[in-house]
Amino acid sequence: MKRLLTVSFLMGLLFLSNASKAQDTLPKFNIRDINDKKLLITWISTFGDSCIQLAVQRSFDSTHFFSTTYSAQSPELPQNGYVDVRMPKGVKVFYRIFYVLAGGSYYFTKSKGLYSYKESTQEEQQITITEPIKKNNPREIGKQDILDIYSFKKGIDALKEETKTYINIFKRTKDTLFAQLKYKDYKHLRDSVLLKTKDTLYTIDQGNVIIKPFVPKPIWRASNYIFTTEQTNRVTLHLPQSKLHKYRIVFFDNYGEQLFEIKQPKDDNLILDNSNFTRGGWYSFDLYQDEKLKEHNKFQILIPF
């Protein structure tokens, strides 16, 4: 009995070994029949723990409108597979694998289909339905590229299949995958972004969108401690309670080079002579109070002096 179990185990190992040798590694994968109702999609990964996300996607078009039908819970496994329900005869279906590696790189395999049954001679009609075109929003670029896709079959009264397109959402650049949403969920996100924020949406293609957060331009406000006035065109220092605090001011030119430094002014209010500044323009400063940076700001000296 033990000998029989040993032989069976060795034969099983030999079968798996031969199956592995017969299949290429990602980005290549295999599709084969299980029976008339199921298909088996298998793949071999050499990425190990570097593979952090892997999904099987299905489409009724060989190049567009893929939707995720399976997400691997353990994408790092060297060999894995997924069983999918076979479509009705005559309906073409294609598969591809989407996987993400550590560091943000992501890949799509080439699409592949399997038709071991006799295809129907009936003509297949595919209808593309888009949302009514609205007035373009300047912060949404390429909106018309994202579509809802429906597949119909002649002679079938009811809608058989809806391809639920998944949209990959990237943040700032295409190297940072932020989320993957169904199209209906993406529409809610898109409306929220456009109506409630100042962010911009860039549509790369039918399945990829970049969100670029709005970065407001900094508004310069004159300092209350070191400033110039149009009347005098001189630098004024207003340092409250200079006898109770230790002040230090470091001045810089427009290129960030240090000009000079004032340590512990004797009075609360001082006016600096313009001879300390060789030309008109912008100057910056660091104001320290008790050796802690209190303010970094700038001021402008107009010309002529």
**DSSP symbols for 50-72:** GEEEEEEEEESSSSS--EEEEE-
Which of 155-159, 183-187, 276-280, 292-296 reaches the highest mean pLDDT? 292-296
Count CB atoms within 10 A of the CB of residue 23: 14
pLDDT bin (cut points 50, 70, 90) of residue 120 is very low
Question: How far apart are the C-alpha atoms of 230 and 285, rounded to whole Å?
Answer: 19
Yes or no: say if 54 and 71 are a contact pair by the CB < 8 Å rule. Answer: yes
**Phi, psi for residue 184 in degrees, rounded to 5:** -65, -35
**β-sheet bridge partners, residue 226:** 237
Q: What mean pLDDT is predicted for residues 190-209?
A: 83
Peptide bond connecting 304 to the previous residue in cis, omega within 30 degrees of 0: yes
**Which pLDDT score, from 0 to 100, does residue 96 have?**
93
Q: Which pLDDT score is estimated for 37? A: 82
Q: Are residues 32 and 75 located together in one domain of the fold? A: yes
pLDDT > 50? residue 126: no
pLDDT at 122: 38
Residue where a domain stops, chosen among 59, 79, 113: 113
CA–CA dist 113, 173 (Å, integer): 32
Confidence of residue 146 (pLDDT cuts 50, 70, 90): low
Q: Is the pLDDT of residue 54 over 70?
A: yes
How many percent of the chain have pLDDT more than 90? 23
The answer to whether residue 236 is domain-embedded is: yes
We report the CATH number of the domain holding residue 271 as: 2.60.40
Interatomic CA distance for residues 71 and 99, integer angstroms = 10
Do 73 and 43 share a structural domain? yes
Domain boundary among 113, 143, 159: 113
**DSSP class of residue 304?**
-
pLDDT at 250 exceeding the cut of 90 = yes
* 237 and 203 in a common domain: no
What is the structure's pLDDT at 304? Answer: 55
Helix (H, G, I), strand (E, B) or coil at 24: coil
Local structure of residue 241 (DSSP, 8 states)? T
Q: Check whether residue 30 and residue 107 sit in a common domain.
A: yes
In a domain, 218, yes or no: no
Answer whether residue 2 shows pLDDT above 50.
no
Domain boundary among 155, 178, 212: 212
Which carries the bigger pLDDT value, residue 44 or residue 89?
44
- Better-predicted residue by pLDDT, 85 or 150: 85
Assign 290 a pLDDT band (cuts: 50, 70, 90): very high
Range 87-100 average pLDDT: 85
Residue 131 sits in the same domain as residue 97 = no
Higher pLDDT, 181 or 125: 181
Give the structural domain span for 68.
Answer: 18-113
Beta bridge partners of 95: 58, 112
Provide the mean pLDDT of the chain: 76
- Give the pLDDT score at 22: 56
Token output for 8: 């069976």
CA 248 → CA 19, 239, 269, distances in Å? 75, 10, 14
Who has greater pLDDT, 7 or 69? Answer: 69
What is the identity of the amino acid at 77? Answer: L
Cis amide linkage into residue 240, ω under 30° from 0: no
| Number of domains into which the chain is organized | 3
Tell me: do 99 and 180 sit in the same domain.
Answer: no
What is the pLDDT, as a whole number, of residue 137?
Answer: 65
In a domain, 2, yes or no: no
Nearest to 163 by CA among 145, 142, 186, 184: 184
